[in-house]
Amino acid sequence: CIARTQYCDGRPDCRDNSDEYYCPDRQACTPEEFECRDSSGCVTRAQYCDGRPDCRDYSDELSCSQPNATRPACTPEQFQCGDGTCVDQTQFCDGRPDCADYSDESSCPRPACKLDQFECNDGSGCIARTQYCDGRPDCRDNSDEYYCPDRQACTPEEF
């Protein structure tokens, strides 16, 4: 849950950005921004056709007709995605997909967790079982707080 004041405040706070969808008084996109086809928001021109979907409907990555052969080669500090786009090397195996085809996260070594540990869904590490569903996210992808049996419902002041 997030505070009600964070709903439709122009900054995504939920992991899936759902707190910024269907906002009643959404401002029009600026000329420097691309409007998502489903009107769920705006993305910067730098995010448009960058190989990483930023719109909920992926419209910022559709119709990107630039063939792989004409894309510039990646620098040594970058990782080349399967579709030819480049992302910073620090984004390789960081637990967050940055390539549209998820190739930066698809062949990462997974840690071997012990029996008294919980393995984070993104493969980024292991946490103590006592940290699973303790109300505080410890995994980078917050997977240790998903599907908790005693999860409380949001209050009226929360989204």
CATH number of 99's domain? 4.10.400.10
Q: What domain range is 137 assigned to?
A: 109-145
Q: Where do we find the tokens 């439709």?
A: 8
Domain assignment of residue 18, yes or no: yes
Domain assignment of residue 151, yes or no: no
CA proximity to 61, closest of 51, 69, 70: 51
CA proximity to 81, closest of 108, 119, 51: 51
Identify whether residues 1 and 56 lie together within a single domain.
yes
Domain assignment of residue 103, yes or no: yes
Which of 64, 82, 117 delimits the end of a domain? 64
pLDDT of residue 153: 58
Instruction: Give per-residue pLDDT as tens, 25-84.
Output: 666 777 777 888 777 678 887 788 888 888 877 888 877 765 443 344 677 788 888 777
Check: CB of residue 142 under 8 Å from CB of residue 155. no
pLDDT of residue 32: 73
Identify whether residues 37 and 86 lie together within a single domain.
no
SS3 67: coil
Q: What's the average model confidence in pLDDT over 104-116?
A: 77
Domain assignment of residue 117, yes or no: yes
pTM tops 0.75, yes or no: no
Q: What's the average model confidence in pLDDT over 121-148?
A: 86
Identify whether residues 55 and 22 lie together within a single domain.
yes
- Number of compact structural domains in the chain: 3
Taking all residues of the chain, what is their mean pLDDT, rounded to a whole number?
A: 77
Domain assignment of residue 158, yes or no: no
In terms of Cβ atoms closer than 10 Å to its own Cβ (0-12, 13-18, 19+), residue 149 is exposed
Domain assignment of residue 60, yes or no: yes
Identify whether residues 60 and 26 lie together within a single domain.
yes
Identify whether residues 119 and 93 lie together within a single domain.
no
pLDDT at 128 over 90: yes
Contacts of 137 (CB under 8 A, 6+ apart): 144, 145
Identify whether residues 71 and 56 lie together within a single domain.
no
More confident residue, 23 or 60: 60
Beta-ladder partners of 43: 34
Identify whether residues 81 and 95 lie together within a single domain.
yes
Domain assignment of residue 159, yes or no: no
CA end-to-end distance (rounded Å), the chain: 5
Identify whether residues 79 and 97 lie together within a single domain.
yes
pLDDT of residue 109: 66
